[in-house]
Amino acid sequence: MRSQTWKSCLGVLCLLAAGTANAAKISFSEKGFIDVGALVQTQFRMVQDGSPDKKNPSYDFLFGRARILLSGQFDDHIGFLIDTDVTYGAATIGGPTGGVAWNSNIYLLDAIGTYKVSKELIIDAGLTLPAFSHNELTSGGKYASITRFSTRTNSPFPPNATRGLRDVGIVLRGLLLDDRLYYRLGVFNGVQGGTSQTGSATNGLATGTATVNGGDAPLFGGMLRFNIMGKEDGFSFCQVCFAKSPLMSIGVSGVYQNNAIRPLVPTGAGTSQYIGQHAWTTAAADFFTDVPFTPDIELSADILFSKYFVGDNAVPSGNDLEALVHLRFGDFGIFGQFEWFDSETKYVGKGNTLGDSKIYRAGLNWFLLQNIYKITYEVSFQDKEQAGNTVDATAVPPNVWTMVLQFSTTF
C-alpha cells in the first residue's frame, strides 16, 4: 500500500475518534451528576511461531480493553462507579485477553459505592481492585506500555480469588499528614473454597475434604504511599501524566489470604508432591515518578519489587521485579520495560513448565491527544528457564518474540 494511502486511512481514523472526544455528563441537581465514558483498545498482535502449525507467525486483531464506564455522585459525599469489560479471546471470564479461545463476553468489572467523609477518609464498597501498587492502580488508558505489571508470570493475588483482578469487599482510603501519606486498606471475599471430588493418595485428600480455604477466610490487602513531590489521591493513578509539576512517591503493600492454595511441588524427574494448604502472602515495595522538565519533555519511571510466600519450593514462591522507564518528547514517547520472576522451585519439567522468567519490552507512543487518543507499538521477548527443551518428557514452550500495535481511545 502506498504511503499516501496509509496517511489517508490514519487521518480518517483520527477524525472518527475526534467526533467522540467528550464524555456525556448529565446533571440532575446542583451537585449531582452522572458521567458516561468508554475505553476501547484495539490491537493487532503478531507472535513468533504462533500459527496453528507452529511454523509461521500468528496475526490477530484483538481487544485489549473494551469498557463502558458509568460514574457520578449524588452530592459531595455519595458517589458511584460501574464499568464493564470484555474477555475477547480469553479462556475464562476476566482472564487475560488475546488467547486462542473464542470467548467475547461482556462482564462487570467494577461496581462501587463511595462515601466521602473527608479527604482523610473515603469508604468504597463493592466489586473493586484490591490495592497493591501504583502500577496496579494506574488507569487502563494511562499506561506507558501496553502490558501492565499484573499480566506478568505471577499475580499479586492468589488463584480463584479475583476475576479481572477484582473482588468484592470494603476499602478505606484517604490522605493524612498534610497530604503526604496516602493509604488504601481493604478486606475482600477472597479465595473460593471447595471440596475434593476425587480424593486419592495423589492429591492427599479424602473425598469430600476441603481443598482450600475450608474456613472461608477473607483476603486482606493494603498499600501505604508517601508523597515525596506532589500527590495522587484519586481512585486511579497515571503513568504518563502530562503533569505540570513533578510527582514522586514510594509505597509499601501487602496481600494475605489464609489457606489459599495447595501447591503441587515438583521434586525431580517425574515426581512431585502436594505440601498441604498454605497461605498466600505477597509483600512489595515500589517507586513512581513523573517529572515534566518542560511542557514537551516528561520522564516517567515505575519500579516494583515483590516477594511471594506460597510454600517452600512452590512454583509461585519467589522474587518478582518489574521496572518501566518512559520518556516523552512532545506528542511522541519511547519506553523500555523489564520483568523478572525468580521462582523458588528447584525443578522445571513434568508438572512445571515455568521456572525463572524474564520478559523484555520496548516500544513507542504517539499521543494524538494526550492519553485520550494514542497509538502504542510494543515488541517483547520472553526468556524462560529451559525454554524450547524437553525435560522429563515434558516440552517447555520456546521463547518467542511478540509485536503489538494498539489504538487506544478513552473519554
Residues across the chain: 411
Convert the pLDDT of each residue in 208-232 to its tens digit: 555 788 888 999 999 999 999 999 8
Residue range 341-360: mean pLDDT, rounded: 75
Contact (CB, 8 A) for 390 and 397: no
Residue 335, strand partner residues = 326, 363
| pTM for the full predicted model | 0.85
How high is the pLDDT of residue 83? 94
How high is the pLDDT of residue 8? 40
Q: Which is more confidently placed, 18 or 277? A: 277
How high is the pLDDT of residue 349? 59
How high is the pLDDT of residue 389? 76
Cα(229)–Cα(242) distance, integer angstroms = 15
Per 3-state DSSP, what percentage of the chain is helix, strand, and coil (rounded to 5)?
A: 5, 55, 40
How high is the pLDDT of residue 3? 44
The share of the chain scoring above pLDDT 70, in percent, equals 82
Residue range 155-164: mean pLDDT, rounded: 83
Q: Does position 169 have pLDDT exceeding 50, yes or no? A: yes
Max Cα–Cα distance, the chain, nearest Å: 70
Residue range 90-112: mean pLDDT, rounded: 68
Q: Quick one: cell of 319?
A: 522474587
Q: Does position 156 have pLDDT exceeding 60, yes or no? A: yes
How high is the pLDDT of residue 90? 60
Q: What is the mean pLDDT of the chain?
A: 84
Q: Which is more confidently placed, 96 or 56? A: 56
How high is the pLDDT of residue 195? 55
Cα(155)–Cα(333) distance, integer angstroms = 28
Q: Point out the least confidently predicted range of 19-28, 94-103, 238-247.
A: 94-103
Q: Does position 16 have pLDDT exceeding 70, yes or no? A: no
- Most confidently modeled range among 133-142, 195-204, 245-254, 340-349: 245-254
Q: Point out the least confidently predicted range of 2-6, 67-71, 258-262, 358-362.
A: 2-6
Cα(198)–Cα(208) distance, integer angstroms = 8
Q: Does position 18 have pLDDT exceeding 60, yes or no? A: no
Convert the pLDDT of each residue in 300-321 to its tens digit: 999 999 999 988 878 788 899 9
How high is the pLDDT of residue 196? 53
Q: Does position 392 have pLDDT exceeding 90, yes or no? A: no
How high is the pLDDT of residue 157? 87
pLDDT band per the 50, 70, 90 thresholds, residue 118? very high
Q: Quick one: cell of 244?
A: 505540570
Q: Which is more confidently placed, 168 or 7? A: 168
Task: Answer left, alpha or beta for residue 17, where phi above 0 means left and psi between -120 and 50 means alpha.
Answer: alpha
How high is the pLDDT of residue 11? 42
Q: Does position 322 have pLDDT exceeding 50, yes or no? A: yes
Residue range 125-140: mean pLDDT, rounded: 91
Residue range 326-352: mean pLDDT, rounded: 85
Pairing verdict, β 121-128 and 167-176? antiparallel
Cα(18)–Cα(227) distance, integer angstroms = 35
How high is the pLDDT of residue 77? 96
Nearest CA to 138 out of 31, 234, 18, 12 is that of 234
How high is the pLDDT of residue 106? 83
